[in-house]
Amino acid sequence: MNRKIIIAIITALVIISGYLIYKKLNPKKLPPYLVAAVGRIDGDDILINTKYPGRVLLLRVDTGDEVKKGEVVAKLDSKEFEDKLKALEYQIKAKEKELEFTSEKVDKTIKKATLNVKIKTDELNALNAQIDAFKKVIAQDIRDEKRIASLVKRKLAKEHDLELAKLKTKTDKDKLKGLEAKKEALKKAVKVANKDLQIAKAATKNVEALKDAINALNSQKNEVQTIINELTLKSPVNGYVDTKIANVGEVVGAGMPVVSVIDPKSFYLKIYVDELTNGKIKVGQKAEIFLDSFPNRPIKAVVSKIAKKAEFTPKEVEVRSDRITRVYEVHLKPLESCKYFKLGLPAIGVILTGRGNLPGSLKELPEM
């Protein structure tokens, strides 16, 4: 019985060994319409920098955390700028009150001066009309005086009548002189009133100066507010934190990164192909990406980029004679975001370059 078992075991070992030797001597070959290569997942590492220097006051994320676009990831100390903002707001309020008071005062002064000019001008116009009327009266007085003098010569009127006529002429002329003197005084008053109006209108420059001062303060306030806003760092994309670069309490300089985030939509598989293979590949060709953890789950992709210039590989080899193979960098972009992708994760890329089908599993490909 033992002999039969031993013979069976030996037979099985021979069969298995023969199969393995056969596979070794006759490995799977990649179809001519496919190009396959091992590469690593790469993507855009976005550095979230601070525009202004400051101390990290709050850090709300850690490496690997998911973040949403616009989500606050860190805050820098902004007390100095907040104090400056309050001071500017106080100055603005003070200037606005001063502007309100000055504007009201200037408006009242202009209205008062304008009204005074109108009153004095109306008085002058009325006086001119009165003077014109008196001139006509005096002209009539002179005619009456001449007529009465003629009658006196002909003994048709008394001397007393002539004296009364002369007295009236003199009285009216004296009144006219008084009106003329009043006219000169009113002309001066109108001139003064117009000058007062010009001075009142000139005061509007003070109002404009205050407005300019308030605008300048508001500009400063907006600048400070912008700085405060910039000290609150937000994620520009939906993704996850790749690296936490700074810690709470650390002082960072202008332009220094605090954290870096990855946009999963930017992930691609970076592979290298030789010069002969590169001639078959074109941007837009269908492709697949396989992860070691999911060998039977191909991820649909497309060729998104082919390097225009070849480079020597491996890059780390220093001896020029060893760098004999020139390769081209090729990017395979997944058609949809894959939650399993991580930076640096190894993967296999397969490109369809001719008529045929892409594999459904890594088992259909030769060992790589």
Q: What is the C-alpha separation between 218 and 164, in angstroms, rounded?
A: 81
Burial grade of 364 (CB within 10 A; 0-12, 13-18, 19 or more):
middle
- 284 phi-psi bin (left φ>0, alpha ψ -120 to 50, beta other): left
Which CATH homologous superfamily contains domain 81-222? Helix Hairpins (1.10.287.620)
Q: What is the pLDDT of residues 36-62, one digit of tens each?
A: 899 999 988 899 999 999 899 999 999
Q: Which residues pair with 40 in a beta bridge?
A: 270, 346
Q: What is the C-alpha separation between 335 and 188, in angstroms, rounded?
A: 90
Which helix (H) or strand (E) segment holds residue 189: the answer is: helix 159-202
Q: What is the C-alpha separation between 160 and 173, in angstroms, rounded?
A: 20
Q: Which of 304, 297, 324 has the alpha carbon at shortest distance from 313?
A: 324
Side-chain half-sphere exposure of 120, counting CA atoms within 13 A: 22
Give the pLDDT of residue 209: 93
* CATH number among 2.40.50.100, 2.40.50.140, 3.30.930.10, 2.30.40.10, domain 48-76+227-261: 2.40.50.100
Q: Which of 252, 287, 266 has the alpha carbon at shortest distance from 37?
A: 287
Q: What is the C-alpha separation between 103 and 2, in angstroms, rounded?
A: 118
Q: What is the pLDDT of residues 69-81, one digit of tens each?
A: 999 999 999 889 9
Q: What is the C-alpha separation between 157 and 124, in angstroms, rounded?
A: 41
Q: What is the pLDDT of residues 95-108, one digit of tens each?
A: 999 999 999 999 99
The answer to whether the beta carbons of residues 263 and 235 sit under 8 Å apart is no
Q: What is the pLDDT of residues 261-271, one digit of tens each?
A: 988 888 999 99
pTM exceeds 0.95, yes or no:
no
Reply yes or no on whether the pLDDT at 89 is more than 60.
yes
Give the pLDDT of residue 316: 38
Reply yes or no on whether the pLDDT at 315 is more than 60.
no
Q: How many angstroms separate the Cα of 367 from the Cα of each of 23, 210, 362, 363, 364?
A: 11, 80, 8, 8, 9
Q: What is the C-alpha separation between 142 and 168, in angstroms, rounded?
A: 9
pLDDT band (50, 70, 90) for residue 27: low
The answer to whether the beta carbons of residues 260 and 242 sit under 8 Å apart is yes
Q: Mean pLDDT across the stretch 185-196?
A: 91
Q: Please report the DSSP string for 49-85 in residue order.
A: E-SS-EEEEEE---TT-EE-TT-EEEEE--HHHHHHH
Q: Where are the beta strands (DSSP E) in 96-169?
A: none
Q: Which range, 156-160, 168-172, 230-234, is most confident?
A: 230-234
pLDDT band (50, 70, 90) for residue 150: confident
Q: What Rg value do the Cα atoms of the chain yield, rounded? A: 51
Give the pLDDT of residue 99: 93
Give the pLDDT of residue 14: 61
Level-2 CATH architecture, domain 30-44+263-364: Beta Barrel (2.40)
* Domain 30-44+263-364 identical in fold to domain 81-222: no
* Domain extent listing, the chain: 30-44+263-364, 48-76+227-261, 81-222
Structure tokens at 113: 């001066």
Q: Find out whether the peptide bond into 295 is cis, omega within 30 degrees of 0.
A: no
Structure tokens at 322: 């060893």
Amino acid, single-letter form, for residue 304: S
Q: What is the pLDDT of residues 209-228, one digit of tens each?
A: 999 999 999 999 999 999 99
Based on DSSP, count helices (H) and strands (E) in the chain, helices before strands. 5, 15
Give the pLDDT of residue 297: 92
Reply yes or no on whether the pLDDT at 318 is more than 70.
no
Query: Which residues have C-beta within 8 Å of that of residue 230, sequence separation ≥ 6?
Result: 50, 51, 52
Reply yes or no on whether the pLDDT at 321 is more than 60.
no
Q: How far is CA 268 from the centre of its chain?
A: 31
pLDDT band (50, 70, 90) for residue 334: very high
Q: Which of 290, 311, 309 has the alpha carbon at shortest distance from 299?
A: 290
Sign of CA dihedral 150, 153, 156, 161: positive
